[in-house]
Structure 1
Amino acid sequence: MTRSFTSLDDEEFNRLFRDFRYTAYRLETLQRYDVSYEQAEFSRFLAGEPRGEFPGIGAWCETVREAVAAGKRMHRVHVVVDPLSDYVRFECGWAYEHTVEAGEDVRLVPVAGRDWPEGLPHYDYWLFDSCDLVAMYYDEAGAFVSGKLITEPAKVVEANRWRDMAVHLSVPYRQYATGPQLAANP
C-alpha cells in the first residue's frame, strides 16, 4: 500500500511525528534543500552574519524536545559531499546546532566528490518505528515535491538496512563540527 502527499504541512505526514512510539529516523542525501522556513536564516548565513536565533526551525525543535521528553529517539544521518555546499555549511553551523540542542541525534557521513558510500542510496526518506517508510522526493533545486508512505515489507526492510549502514558509517554531528571542514566557515 502506498499513500502520497504533496505538502510538508500534510496532516497525515505530521501525524507520523506525533504518533511514532520509539524511533523516527531520517536519511538525507541532498546537498541543498530549498525550505521556505529557512530562507531568512540562510540569507543571513550567506551574508556572513553570526549565528543567532533561528525562528524558522522553532516548531521542529519543539517536536524533537517533546519526543525526546517522552522517551522517543529522533535521529538522522546526512551524507555530505566535500567540499561542502553553502547550504550544508549552513545546515551544519546553524540548523543542526539547534536540533542537537533540542535532543536530535544528528550524524554525518562525509564523502569526497563522487565517492558515494557503496550500498547507500541517493534517496531521502523517513522511517518511523522501523516499519513506516516515507520516501521523500525533491526537485533539482532541493524543493520538496512529494512524499510517499510505503508499507511494502521488502522496501521497509531495505530502508532499515540502509539506516543501519548509514549509522555505522557516520560520525556524530558534534565530532564532525570540530573538524577543519567547518572551522573557517561563519
Structure 2
Amino acid sequence: MSLITGEGFSRLFRTFEHTAFRLEVRDRYDAPYENASLVRFLSTEKDDLPWMRDWLHMIREATESGRRFSRVRVVSVPLTDYSRFGVWCAQFTNGAGEDIRYLEREQADVHDLPNHDYWLFDSSKLIRMHFDDADRFLGGELIEDPATVVQHGYWRDAAWHHAIRRDEFAAE
C-alpha cells in the first residue's frame, strides 16, 4: 500500500473544489507540532497556537472562496486530555470557517460508524488515514473503489446527523 504524505497530502487541501470532510475517531494523536501547546493547555498556560496559523489561514481562504471544511470528532466520555485540548482548539478553527462537531463514541457505535479516520473530498476522493501504534500519522491511502467511497459518504452523513456543534458540546 502506498501512502500519500508531505506535499502530496497537503495538496489535497488546496485542490478540492467544494467540500472536505474529516471523521476523527481516535482519542489521541501524537502530532509533534502541537505537543508543546497540549502541555501548555494542560498546565493552563496561555498559548497563541503558532502551529495552527497556516491551517487557519487556509480554512479562511477556502471559506471565502465558497469551499467548505467540516469534521466530526468521535470522542470517549469522559474526555481524554487530548480530546479536551481538541475541543478548546476547535473554537479557533470554527472561527476560521471549519464546522467541527462532536459525537460520543457510544452513539458512533450504535450507528455502526467506522473505527478509522478519513478525509472525504468532494464526496468522491476518499483518503483513509493510517497511524502507528504510538498515534503518529503515517500517511493517507487513496481509496478509489466506488462502493467504498459511497459507504464513507453514508458514514459522513450519519455522523453529521447525530453530532452536535462544538459550542453546544463544550457547554456540556
Q: TM-score under structure 1 normalisation? A: 0.87
Percent of counterpart pairs with the same letter? 42
Closer, same or farther in 2 for the Cα pair 1:103/1:115, shift >3 Å? closer
CA offset digits 1:51-103 (Å, max 9, x no partner): x411111111111111101001100000011010000001111x212111111
Q: Following the alignment from structure 1 to structure 2, what is the Cα–Cα distance between the partners of residues 108 and 128?
A: 20
**Counterpart in the other structure of 1:182:** none
**Counterpart in the other structure of 1:125:** 118
**Counterpart in the other structure of 1:184:** none
Which amino acid in structure 1 is aligned with residue 166 of structure 2?
A: Y
Indicate the larger mover: 159-168 or 12-21.
12-21
- Is the Cα contact below 8 Å between 1:34 and 1:143 reproduced in 2? yes
Following superposition, the deviation at residue 153 of structure 1 comes to 0.3
2:77 counterpart of 1:82: yes
Closer, same or farther in 2 for the Cα pair 1:115/1:66, shift >3 Å? closer
* SS of match in other structure, 1:127: strand
Q: How many residues align?
A: 172
- Is the Cα contact below 8 Å between 2:3 and 2:138 reproduced in 1? no
Following superposition, the deviation at residue 115 of structure 1 comes to 7.3
**Counterpart in the other structure of 1:20:** 16
**Counterpart in the other structure of 1:4:** 3
Q: Following the alignment from structure 2 to structure 1, what is the Cα–Cα distance between the partners of residues 22 and 149?
A: 13
Which amino acid in structure 2 is aligned with residue 118 of structure 1?
A: H
Give the aligned CA root-mean-square deviation in angstroms. Answer: 1.7
Q: Following the alignment from structure 2 to structure 1, what is the Cα–Cα distance between the partners of residues 133 and 110?
A: 21
* SS of match in other structure, 2:54: helix
* SS of match in other structure, 2:41: helix
List alignment gaps of at least 5 residues for structure 1: 180-186
Q: Following the alignment from structure 1 to structure 2, what is the Cα–Cα distance between the partners of residues 84 and 140?
A: 20
- Is the Cα contact below 8 Å between 2:108 and 2:159 reproduced in 1? no
Q: Following the alignment from structure 1 to structure 2, what is the Cα–Cα distance between the partners of residues 64 and 3?
A: 27
Runs of 4+ displaced beyond 3 Å: none
- Is the Cα contact below 8 Å between 2:111 and 2:158 reproduced in 1? no
CA offset digits 1:130-159 (Å, max 9, x no partner): 000000011233111221011110110111
2:170 counterpart of 1:174: no
List alignment gaps of at least 5 residues for structure 2: none
- Is the Cα contact below 8 Å between 1:32 and 1:141 reproduced in 2? no
Which amino acid in structure 1 is aligned with residue 15 of structure 2?
A: D
Indicate the larger mover: 141-150 or 153-162.
141-150
Q: Following the alignment from structure 1 to structure 2, what is the Cα–Cα distance between the partners of residues 177 and 116?
A: 21
Q: Out of 100, 109, 122, which is 1:116 matched to?
A: 109
Q: TM-score under structure 2 normalisation? A: 0.94
CA offset digits 1:14-59 (Å, max 9, x no partner): 1111111100000000000111110110110122224x41111111
2:36 counterpart of 1:43: no
Which amino acid in structure 2 is aligned with residue 163 of structure 1?
A: R
Q: Following the alignment from structure 2 to structure 1, what is the Cα–Cα distance between the partners of residues 165 and 76?
A: 16
